[in-house]
Structure 1
Amino acid sequence: MRILKLFVLSTIANFVSFNSAWAGPPFITDDPETLEYQHWEINYAVSKSWRQGESSAATPSIDINYGASPNLQLHIQPRYSYERSMTDSHFGIDDTEVGMKYRFLNIQHDNFSFMVGTYPMLQLPTGDAKLGPNRGKVQSFLPLWLQGNIDKWTMYGGMGYRINPGSGNKNSVFFGMTTLYEVTQDFKLGGEIFHESPNSIDGVASTGFNLGGSYSLTHDYNVLFAAGKGLKNVSSTNELSTYLALQVLY
């Protein structure tokens, strides 16, 4: 048992130095924890971001998740979006995200836990071309996520490779890390920091952070919230971003 504790602690420590089921939303960085078998989680969310006199909003997005097995979670996320530039604005149906989260390592012991999983995503080209030149194109994301829980602390994150085909586009690499603290049984606070390499030939890298958390209204209803901004190439990537959602569990 002592060896197992040392293994878990050292693994989590290495993970952090590398730069209960609640993770992922409201943050960009995701986690390997899956829903309970035959349970649903739906996040009814609105979000908005600003950059260089432009803004983007999801009004709303519906993040639907289902526990298909104890270690397998299915995901679909349609959304209706708004894009405003300095000259015009457009509303329309956006691209639809589908994914499958698989947790292949789950170590549990007393107040320690450590998980590893993957969460491949596919962006279906359902988006209205009026929302921007990056809509209506297939895109995929292949990540590896790790998570450690110690008492009231949760740490998760990892890296992923985004495949972004198309003229002028290029594939990118994402890194992210999130830390959460359970202030009370109903109230959790935390933050994330993330970085993604350029996703176009003439693009720039994006680095940013978000602060946020969750508040439990009842056993099956939670409010999720976050806000943040860029730390690098701020004006062209993320001057401010906000997220608010009602999470419903079934």
Structure 2
Amino acid sequence: PRRAGKRVRTRAAAAAALLFALAPGAAQAGPPFRTDDPIPTDTGHWELYGPLIEGSGTRSAFEGSAGAEINYGAAPNVQLTLGIPAAFAHDETGTTWGRGDLALSAKYRFYDDEASGVSVAVFPGLTLPTASGDLGGPNATVFLPVWAQKDAGPWSVFGGGGYTINPGRENRDYWSGGIAVSREVSERLLLGAEIDRQGADTVGGRATTELGVAMIVQLDGPFRLLASAGPSFTEGDGSPALHAFLALGADF
């Protein structure tokens, strides 16, 4: 969660959504949802998502990453996150694999009212230009979001967004964000849907809106399977692209 700059999983300018989901041990957003939440990893505990595969595009041209995401509860209300991806891109000339951009972020929940079920956090992130070839950006980018959540019994509404500093020739800074609603379905199953929007990140570029459905299946022990998919709509482009995410998660 939570990548800055040119991310396959983007945040977007506030929108609206429905989301049916969350299973015990995973009663928060983040993977596989593109919309984030303010809930940090428990203090002294780890969350690992890997192998993790995500991508977006059409059948003939798509790009994405494969790797791992690691979260650590460093202190009460503080989560540190490290994203270690390998990147890939496919077009009519073939498929290219290589290093991806390294992602670092820190979540701080500064408001948590158990009585009202409301939480708010900041989750600034830094993406470093470690990718090989053209599989990433040439400059470091910074994402500065605020995320909020409201819980009511088995339901949660969460979302927010922020501003990305995206330096570089022909690049531009942009706003992004999303909103979702979730519900616990059973002890082992989470289902969901959301909507996100990202402004244009290049000069002459266009904004993108994404819809998605998601699922979390609690497996034996600390493991769970996470998946999401949906269409992506670029302004002025009549044909939607697709985005997808698949990962194995573990808590310890």
- With structure 2 as the length reference, what TM-score do the two structures score? 0.85
Could you tell me which of 104, 110, 125 is aligned with 1:98?
Answer: 104
Equivalent residue, structure 2, for 1:24:
30
1:230 touches 1:237 (CA, 8 Å); kept in 2? no
Note the alpha carbon deviations across 1:8-61, whole angstroms, 9 max, x for none: xxxxxxx99899542111111111101111000000111222248311132x22
Equivalent residue, structure 1, for 2:183:
181
> What is the identity, as a one-letter code, of the residue corresponding to 2:63?
S
Equivalent positions of 1:1-250 (< 5 A) are 21-44=27-50, 45-51=52-58, 53-58=60-65, 60-109=66-115, 112-131=116-135, 134-233=136-235, 239-250=241-252
Cα distance in 1 for partners of 2:234, 2:137 equals 25
CA RMSD of aligned residues (A): 2.3
Q: Which runs of 4+ in 1 moved over 3 A?
A: 15-21, 231-238
The unaligned stretches of length 5 or more in structure 1 are 1-14
Note the alpha carbon deviations across 1:157-196, whole angstroms, 9 max, x for none: 0021011000000000002012211110211111110111
Q: Structure 1's 105 and 214: CA in aligned 2 closer, same or farther, altered over 3 A?
A: same
Match of 1:68, SS state, is strand
Note the alpha carbon deviations across 1:122-173, whole angstroms, 9 max, x for none: 0011111232xx4242011000100111111111100210110000000000
2:166 touches 2:201 (CA, 8 Å); kept in 1? yes
Note the alpha carbon deviations across 1:182-216, whole angstroms, 9 max, x for none: 11021111111011110111110001111002110
Whose RCO is larger (CA < 8 A, sep 6+)? Answer: 2
Q: Structure 1's 242 and 175: CA in aligned 2 closer, same or farther, altered over 3 A?
A: same
Cα distance in 1 for partners of 2:237, 2:250 equals 35
Cα distance in 1 for partners of 2:184, 2:251 equals 19
**1:236 to partner: Cα distance:** 8.8
Cα distance in 2 for partners of 1:16, 1:174 equals 10
Aligned-pair identity (%): 30
> What is the identity, as a one-letter code, of the residue corresponding to 1:98?
L
Q: Structure 1's 234 and 24: CA in aligned 2 closer, same or farther, altered over 3 A?
A: farther
> What is the identity, as a one-letter code, of the residue corresponding to 1:113?
G
Cα distance in 1 for partners of 2:152, 2:86 equals 38
**1:234 to partner: Cα distance:** 8.0
Match of 1:129, SS state, is coil
2:15 touches 2:195 (CA, 8 Å); kept in 1? no
Q: Structure 1's 17 and 229: CA in aligned 2 closer, same or farther, altered over 3 A?
A: closer
The unaligned stretches of length 5 or more in structure 2 are 1-13, 19-24
Q: How many equivalent pairs are there?
A: 231
- With structure 1 as the length reference, what TM-score do the two structures score? 0.86
**Structure with the largest fraction of helix:** 1
